[in-house]
Chain A
Amino acid sequence: MALQANSTQTYRGNVLVEAPALPRRPRASLGLTREARLAYAILAPTLLVIVFLVAYPFVAAIYLSLQSKMVGAPGRFVGLANYAELFRDEVFLRTAWNSVVYTVVAVLLKFVIGLAMALVLDQERPFNNLFRTLLFVPWAVPVVIVALNWRWIYDDLSGFLNNFLITFHLTSNIISWLSDPHLAMGCVVAVVVWAGTPFYAMTFLAGLQAIAKELYEAAEIDGASIVQQFFYITVPRLKTIFITTVMLSTIWTATNLTFVLILTRGGPANRTEIFPHLAYEIALGARRLGMGAAVSLVFFPVLVIFITLLTRRMLREREE
């Protein structure tokens, strides 16, 4: 049987093989093997949930983006007119640029810090459980609260940062963190990173735990340095998790609007405006649902390409 792509392969020992098939039974009247029927039975709840609660709304959203529709009013099909209007808007270009910068920088930082965190937590030391829990906690706090809390921290006069800096004589001026066009984006990204890094650390740590100690011991006996061990043992085995985590986090970061909504509302002067926030403002502020859907979906092709490329990369890795 020719080696198919990803999902039908599995490990035998350390080697990637094709998952063996059951001995073929004569086909049941429905045309499905018993195994297939079992699989569908098991997957049915998951598929139902996804179809009704994700797929259907998604298709509805696409259709919405092709309409001129306001809240409470009937829609009118206009094809790609919403998208056309979007590409003519100068705010759109600024928003696109912001969205890319915001997403890329945040994901990069989360990756690096998350990996460092996972490696540190992987080391043996007393009270590791406690440290792990403490470092994961930012993820446990509702995003709304994180944003509000940080908004408060950044506050000009009542905020922690300025109070701290002034009390310890590190500055004599008040820094308007969120009002300064040069600082605002950085401040928002800092919050995104603070809240999202635990996810990376969590998944990377799970991956690190799955690597057998013997492999490191064997490599050490063979004379490999720590650095070599890291790059030749750890990294290859974490590649899948790296890619999955980055993929998911990119999607979530790019489509999250809460931080911008609460911290800056897209300001100052559109410096922190990103797609999901723009979509929200249009869909609910201007009540133009069709246009809002279009803004939300504009990034969609980019993300699809991104995911496809990454998945293909991931599969190719596994075949090595």
Chain B
Amino acid sequence: MVNGRVTRRFVLKAGVAAAASSPWWLARSSHAQRAKKLVFWHVPNFTPLADELQKQQVYEFAKQAGLKDTDVEYAVVANEQFQAKLAAAIEAGNPPDVTRLYESNVQYYAANGHLLDMTDLVDKMRREPKGIFESAMTSILYKGRAMGVPLAVNPWPVHARLDLLEQAHLEYPKTWDEFIETSKKIQSPPRLFAFGMCLGLVEDTTDNVMNLLWCYGGKMVEADNKTVVMNSPENLAGVKVIEAMFKTHKIIPPGAISWDNSGNNKAYQSKQAAFVMNPSSIYAYLDGNDKDLQKVTGLYPVPAGPKGTVNQIDTWAYGAFKKNPNPELAKGLLDYLMQPANYDKIIQSTGGRWVPVYKRLFESPFWTGKPAFKHFIKMAETGVPVSYAGSPTPAAGEVLNTQVIPKMIQRVLVENWEPAKALDECHKKIAEIYTRTEKG
């Protein structure tokens, strides 16, 4: 500038402008993040009523414990974002007090010393008349202690279109061979495919695929949680069956390759698939949205393979984090929520999505009045987690979360690899994960 007059007025004006739009409030100190005495992260339970009830119960407990409403933080976190949020919160040393954890997450956070020991409460639950489904214990036990509170045990039945079976004068197939034959008879592609097997790069695929492999005697890892057996001849047999279903018999919709976890739900709900392996979220959805379809929906155990029928369950548990300045409050809250009377209210309001962990509750008219659930009790008792024959350890969780098995099945179905070759690659990856996680 020829005349570089930097007037004081200019400086003043510039300073004011800069200050007005800059974060002067950084200086404030009154905003304390741990003003809350009880922080609960709620992942939506599927029905608005259930969500509302849960919220009510949390606040009820808070009042009982002498807290004000403003002492409680009740945050609703969508399922898709949960991992990201929790990771950030834990890394910053600011996790919630109580939240829901899925399967292997309990053991993962327990192994890193983040969770409170809940053995006392769980023992109390087991002492209830008829106790709880012991299958729920596999995911919450870490070094013999219960590090989470089992909330629900969810079998993965086959949702079956009874009307189509009736039309074709067929029974629900008892073996996988029958299943293939029945499928060919009742389907009418491309409108209706028989088997809505999830084959996308999502968790449901691992669940569907492994469930079938178990019926052929296969499994991912031995009960010692160390010996990986993915490339066993039994698994190979099972994978070949899936390959045949997709390529030869064509009973699976080709679009299943790009499904997300809601793909098989949508397929069944919109009458594009006749058989779908999924927790009863579909059934519960139909309860509120398509009662006609619900009437003709049966919930069955998985067909048997040469080695019998094996059914899957998955478990959800509440976890309480150690970094809680008020652990008694967290424990008290969980105790309150798991009291059978309170618990049952929420379970019933999910319309069949959540299966109660207390055996006794399963005998109430709510369940016995639903003939579709008649197989459920057996499935809940004898079901195994996706990590069979191991338990839901952090390694199993990583296998699930990184889509190792879906990638394997896509190698076979999309890239036309030999099943043996794909299984070998899969085996190596899983073994690497288990070895690495063992080292810690």
Q: Do chains A and B touch in the complex (CB under 8 A)?
A: yes
Closest CB of chain A to B423's CB: distance in Å? Answer: 15
Taken residue by residue from 246 to 274, chain B's Cβ proximity to chain A (1 for < 8 Å, 0 otherwise) reads as: 00000001111110100000100010100
Residue of A nearest to B21 (CB): A45
CB-defined contacts of A196 to chain B, threshold 8 Å: none
Complex CA distance for A23 and B6, rounded to whole angstroms = 12
Taken residue by residue from 405 to 424, chain B's Cβ proximity to chain A (1 for < 8 Å, 0 otherwise) reads as: 01100110011000000000
Other-chain contact of B272, A20, A44, A157, A268 (Cβ < 8 Å): A157
B84 contacts the other chain (CB 8 A):
yes
CB-defined contacts of B114 to chain A, threshold 8 Å: 72
A297 contacts the other chain (CB 8 A):
no
CB-defined contacts of B415 to chain A, threshold 8 Å: 181, 269
B275 contacts the other chain (CB 8 A):
no
Complex CA distance for A35 and B266, rounded to whole angstroms = 65
Complex CA distance for A265 and B200, rounded to whole angstroms = 8
Verify A71–B90 contact, CB threshold 8 A: yes
A29 contacts the other chain (CB 8 A):
no
Verify A267–B201 contact, CB threshold 8 A: yes
B108 contacts the other chain (CB 8 A):
yes
Verify B91–A268 contact, CB threshold 8 A: no
CB-defined contacts of A284 to chain B, threshold 8 Å: 83-84, 87, 401
Q: How large is the interface on A (under 10, 10 to 19, 20 to 34, 35 or more residues)?
A: 35 or more
CB-defined contacts of B414 to chain A, threshold 8 Å: 179, 181, 267-269
Complex CA distance for A48 and B19, rounded to whole angstroms = 12
B403 contacts the other chain (CB 8 A):
yes
Verify A35–B201 contact, CB threshold 8 A: no
CB-defined contacts of A155 to chain B, threshold 8 Å: 255
A-B contact count (CB 8 A): 119
Closest CB of chain A to B400's CB: distance in Å? Answer: 9
A308 contacts the other chain (CB 8 A):
no
A123 contacts the other chain (CB 8 A):
no
Complex CA distance for A178 and B406, rounded to whole angstroms = 16
CB-defined contacts of A174 to chain B, threshold 8 Å: 190, 254-255
Verify A281–B402 contact, CB threshold 8 A: yes
Residue of B nearest to A278 (CB): B402
Residue of A nearest to B397 (CB): A287
CB-defined contacts of A179 to chain B, threshold 8 Å: 254-258, 414
A122 contacts the other chain (CB 8 A):
no
Q: State how many residues of chain B have any CB contact under 8 Å with chain A.
A: 47
A285 contacts the other chain (CB 8 A):
yes
Closest CB of chain B to A11's CB: distance in Å? Answer: 14
B398 contacts the other chain (CB 8 A):
yes
Complex CA distance for A289 and B92, rounded to whole angstroms = 14
Other-chain contact of A269, B2, B84, B410 (Cβ < 8 Å): B410
Closest CB of chain A to B91's CB: distance in Å? Answer: 7
Verify B401–A286 contact, CB threshold 8 A: yes
Residues facing B in A266-305 (CB within 8 A) are 266-270, 281-287, 289
Other-chain contact of B257, A44, A266, A267 (Cβ < 8 Å): A267
Residues facing B in A23-75 (CB within 8 A) are 23, 34-35, 38, 41-42, 44-45, 48-49, 70-73
Q: A72-B90, A157-B255, A176-B258 are in contact. Are A267 and B410 (CB under 8 A)?
A: yes
B14 contacts the other chain (CB 8 A):
yes
Complex CA distance for A44 and B255, rounded to whole angstroms = 54
Verify B398–A286 contact, CB threshold 8 A: yes
B4 contacts the other chain (CB 8 A):
yes
CB-defined contacts of A176 to chain B, threshold 8 Å: 254-255, 257-258
Verify A265–B15 contact, CB threshold 8 A: no
Verify A285–B401 contact, CB threshold 8 A: yes
Verify B4–A23 contact, CB threshold 8 A: yes
CB-defined contacts of B112 to chain A, threshold 8 Å: 70, 72-73
CB-defined contacts of B411 to chain A, threshold 8 Å: 269
Closest CB of chain B to A196's CB: distance in Å? Answer: 22
CB-defined contacts of A18 to chain B, threshold 8 Å: none
Taken residue by residue from 229 to 247, chain B's Cβ proximity to chain A (1 for < 8 Å, 0 otherwise) reads as: 0000000000000000000
Verify B83–A265 contact, CB threshold 8 A: no
Verify B200–A267 contact, CB threshold 8 A: yes
CB-defined contacts of B172 to chain A, threshold 8 Å: none
Q: What DSSP secondary structure best describes chain A's contact surface? A: loop
Q: A38-B6, A45-B21, A179-B258 are in contact. Are A265 and B87 (CB under 8 A)?
A: no
Verify A72–B2 contact, CB threshold 8 A: no
Verify B108–A287 contact, CB threshold 8 A: yes
Complex CA distance for A38 and B10, rounded to whole angstroms = 9
Verify A265–B6 contact, CB threshold 8 A: no
Residue of B nearest to A73 (CB): B112
A249 contacts the other chain (CB 8 A):
no
Complex CA distance for A287 and B104, rounded to whole angstroms = 12
B176 contacts the other chain (CB 8 A):
no
CB-defined contacts of B18 to chain A, threshold 8 Å: 41-42, 44-45
Complex CA distance for A283 and B254, rounded to whole angstroms = 30
Residue of B nearest to A281 (CB): B402
Other-chain contact of B398, A268, A285, A289 (Cβ < 8 Å): A285
Closest CB of chain A to B361's CB: distance in Å? Answer: 34
Closest CB of chain A to B109's CB: distance in Å? Answer: 6
Complex CA distance for A38 and B4, rounded to whole angstroms = 12
Taken residue by residue from 173 to 193, chain A's Cβ proximity to chain B (1 for < 8 Å, 0 otherwise) reads as: 110101101001000000000
Complex CA distance for A20 and B198, rounded to whole angstroms = 68
B22 contacts the other chain (CB 8 A):
yes
CB-defined contacts of A267 to chain B, threshold 8 Å: 200-201, 257-258, 406, 410, 414
Q: Can you list 9 contacts pairing A with B, beta carbon distance less than 8 Å?
A: A38-B11, A41-B11, A157-B191, A157-B272, A264-B258, A267-B410, A283-B87, A286-B402, A286-B433
Which 10 A-B residue pairs are closest in the complex by CB-CB distance? A156-B255, A285-B401, A45-B22, A179-B257, A22-B4, A178-B258, A265-B201, A179-B258, A269-B414, A269-B410
Residues of B within 8 A of A (CB): 1-2, 4, 6, 10-11, 14-15, 18, 21-23, 83-84, 87, 90-91, 108-109, 112, 114, 190-191, 200-202, 253-258, 260, 266, 270, 272, 398, 401-403, 406-407, 410-411, 414-415, 433
Residues of A within 8 A of B (CB): 20, 22-23, 34-35, 38, 41-42, 44-45, 48-49, 70-73, 155-158, 173-174, 176, 178-179, 181, 184, 264-270, 281-287, 289
